[in-house]
Structure 1
């Protein structure tokens, strides 16, 4: 089990947030999971706690299609915050989009670790959170 790992789930689908959070907790893949319904909520939270490493996530699982602020718009703000965060944050796009244009755009953004297609299952989540090779 990883210790002291904070994960942000960012998606407007309440059922996805609930199910993914339960899987993360069941498999003990991280210590704390915070959920956000859109990019604006998570961007505001991160700006409010910009210099607090304990409230800076280790992982962000980010949807693309959301109201208020979508995943792409959040990533623009995240890129501006990144130099001030004080630690590495792994960002995974988790989307129902299988559009190659979205995948190609994601590959062009350096902070994105990977592009995953919903739904995520236990094996997929364990792959994201597996410890780095020693």
Structure 2
């Protein structure tokens, strides 16, 4: 089963998104929660020999302490050059700054830029597009 990571410093948002994922049929053991990009990157580094445990889909916040979404995306580029890891990235942010949007659309690894809050309908559309077999 494909895993999904939620990288966001807001615990309530992580939990609500986790519930939405479970509501559409994603099993809890396939949902990984990270408070910032560094936690996720450390997880990636510690599992670099077994890429199949890494999430295939990542919901990423841009504004976080320690390692924000921008830094995570930069680190991911280097990691991808060393491995075959190529997750689908969805930016989930409260930022409505047009500059952020313009910067994100130039990053080829990002699938979509979504404004919080996210709902079950949006998550369902994402999964139907990439993983229709699980819905």
Gaps of 5+ in 2: none
TM-score normalised by length of structure 2: 0.90
Find the aligned partners of 2:49 and 2:82 in 1 and give their Cα distance.
7
Corresponding residue for residue 42 of structure 1 = 40
Find the aligned partners of 1:85 and 1:125 in 2 and give their Cα distance.
28
Gaps of 5+ in 1: none
Alignment of 1:87-126 (within 5 A): 87-126=85-124
Q: Is 1:73–2:87 an aligned residue pair?
A: no
Corresponding residue for residue 63 of structure 1 = 61
Name whichever structure is richer in helix by fraction: 2
Q: Is 1:21–2:10 an aligned residue pair?
A: no
Q: Is 1:10–2:7 an aligned residue pair?
A: yes
TM-score normalised by length of structure 1: 0.90
Moved over 4 A (4+): none
1:130 to 117, 128, 131: 128
**RMSD of aligned alpha carbons:** 1.5
Find the aligned partners of 1:52 and 1:73 in 2 and give their Cα distance.
23
Please say which of residues 27-36 and 67-76 is displaced more in the overlay: 27-36
Find the aligned partners of 1:107 and 1:83 in 2 and give their Cα distance.
21
